[in-house]
Amino acid sequence: MKTLNVGIIGHKFMGKAHSNAWKTAPYFFDMDVKPVMKVACGRNEEQLKSFARRWGWEEVETDWKKMVCRDDIDIVDIATPPNIHRDIVVEAANAGKHIFCEKPLSNSYEEAKEMYEVAEENGVKHYLNHNYRRCPAVMLAKKLIDEGRIGRIFHWRGCYLQSWIVDPNFPLTWHMRREIAGSGPQGGINSHNVDLARFLVGEIRSVTGMTAHFIKERPLPDETASGTFKGIVKGNKKGKVTVEDAAFMLAEFENGALGSFDSTVFATGRKNYNYFELYGSKGSLLFDLERMNELQYYSLEDPEYSQGFRTILVTEPVHPYMENWWPPGHIIGWEHEFVHAAVDFLAAIDRNTVIEPNFYDGMKGMQVLDAGLKSAETGERIVLD
């Protein structure tokens, strides 16, 4: 079997999710090319070595530039905060490496455009991990839309709600610092909603946005112990929160549909509520990530006496990826989407085909997200070029 050597940069939350995908994929899927978990890269050598031992990475490296330029690395997996995505992508693409990158692609549309162009110029495969596209229920929604089952789409209602920083004593982790994160929930979670909307509805023509800042200062964190959803305070000093706490957008799609996008990390009680509704001339679709094995479908083509929202359980082998997992009725989880992405990415390299979403999608998504923040700042509706 052919093999491709993977080098991963980042070993925290997303590093674990990506490692599980590379490790698990060959066990469940018949693949023409197998990933080799070659090198794990990070700044904290002690934590990095522990991570590598646990997940099965053969070597460690603390200098990402050295790893990216190694002749024996075929794929660069970027699982870092977005402030260094651009530098790694440019270096990796110029070195001829295929790139698997965590979202959001960058901290600005300008950076994203450069990243897309350099990847294309060097002819490398590039994938942006908006993993929710690879939920079988979301892929079923796409199939029903493409088949015309819900007709002309009138409305998209999407929200991504979390609550992990409602406590004002939660420390100022990198997610709340503009120089690292670029933005708050607009980039961190609304980027997922924008990608799903583009995937299912189409391109966005204009946006009107608003943001809110609820807590202006937070305790400084212990950088070695803090991470996503987990923060450890160090000392009594505080720092300024430089990103938004909530970001809402109204949008007009190029096909005339209207959309709304709600993202916040102040939705008390919500842990990871990624939800959308689609309303069309012949039917409707509803999806809730916290019930990710189900899709709600309403059809006006059903007899009037039996019309109503039906729940489709997408565990049958007729749905994408499902024949590789468990018998019908046995659900899959959040981590499986990453496995699906790894399988599709390796196949795209092997067969020289395009994988989506890629850096083009990341660039278009960043254009929408930047426009939403600009609209919130100026109070004007922004029409996208």
Contact partners, residue 56, CB within 8 Å, separation at least 6: 19, 23, 37
- Measured from the Cβ of residue 352, the count of other Cβ atoms closer than 10 Å reads 8
Dihedral in degrees, nearest 10, Cα atoms 342, 346, 351, 352 = 90
Alpha helices in the chain (DSSP H): 13-28, 45-55, 64-68, 85-94, 109-121, 136-146, 178-181, 185-188, 190-200, 334-351, 359-378
Q: Of 47, 42, 99, 84, which is closest to residue 66 (Cα–Cα)?
A: 42
Residue with tokens 């070195």: 95
Angle, CA of 245, 248 and 250, to the nearest 5°: 170
Q: Which of 297, 315, 319 lies closest to 306, judged by CA?
A: 297
**Beta bridge mates, 297:** 285, 310
User: What tens-digit pLDDT sequence spans the chain (385 residues)?
Assistant: 899 999 999 999 999 999 999 999 999 999 999 999 999 999 999 999 999 999 999 999 999 999 999 999 999 999 999 999 999 999 999 999 999 999 999 999 999 999 999 999 999 999 999 999 999 999 999 999 999 999 999 999 999 999 999 999 999 999 999 999 999 999 999 999 999 999 999 999 999 999 999 999 999 998 776 677 777 887 789 999 999 999 999 999 999 999 999 999 999 999 999 999 999 999 999 999 999 999 999 999 999 999 999 999 999 999 999 999 999 999 999 999 999 999 999 999 999 999 999 999 999 999 999 999 999 999 999 999 8
CATH numeric code, 133-333+365-378: 3.30.360.10
What is the reported pLDDT for 231? Answer: 76
User: What backbone phi and psi angles, to 5 degrees, belong to 103?
Assistant: -85, 165
**C-alpha–C-alpha distance, residues 250 and 262, integer Å:** 9
Domain boundaries 2-131, corresponding CATH code: 3.40.50.720
Pairing label, strands 382-383, 310-313: unpaired
- Confidence (pLDDT) at 261: 98
The dihedrals phi and psi of 97, each to the nearest 5 degrees, come to -90, 145
pLDDT of res. 222: 84
Domain boundaries, the chain: 2-131, 133-333+365-378
